[in-house]
Homo-oligomer: A and B are copies of this chain.
């Protein structure tokens, strides 16, 4: 059975269309038909064989889990890719999340991935659902531009070592400052679980283990923030 996910709002649905993706179903309130962009999207969805459904704010509120829902939402088939089909040569940066449990963090990583020109996000172990409403919302449309693949760790390593790629883990236990190494493309940035960080054997399998300077008392960063700081360092090196 095909799995579906929900994306909300005219802006995101428009970005999806620009990336070549139309919803299987588009739901909207009466008012939103007054908006020319909404009318175009509804027409395009129907022309592509999708369903267009006029509905109420109450229904959209239920669907989105928000008291104040967007006036237009799309329902899309999930876009998950088999790791074997991922073409690593398409981008210089790839993000890898290990047991990330917060869907907001996954969505934020997708958004950051889009910003740095990453190819996509590879999910290892028991991650949150990247197609959950919260993750899709946080991705701000990047759910449609970033490749998403799921793999078990040994399978990911097999795939990774079957081609070019530098695996860089971030860890509070690392000695190496994240600005010291020369990163080579494609760089795979591996971020571990929000509480536990990377398991030791995962860290050992990395080509490099780096840490950001920590000047404070708490000695850690939000996982999506750490990924972004790391990703911009890699991008900054590549664009020099």
Contacts and interface: CB of A to CB of B under 8 A. Distances in A.
A154 interface: no
A18 B217 CA distance: 9
A217 B116 contact: no
A15 B218 contact: yes
Contacts of A104: 104
A221 B229 CA distance: 12
A168 interface: no
Nearest to A212: B232
A64 interface: no
Given A108-B222, A228-B225, A228-B229, A19 B115 contact: no
Given A216-B117, A216-B145, A112 B221 contact: yes
A114 B216 contact: yes
A11 to B, nearest CB: 9
A140 interface: yes
A31 to B, nearest CB: 20
A220 B179 contact: no
Contacts of A15: 217-218
B224 A111 contact: no
Contact of A229 (B141, B213, B219, B229): B229
Interface of A: 15, 18-19, 104, 108, 111-117, 138, 140-142, 145, 179, 212-222, 224-225, 228-229, 232, 235-236, 239
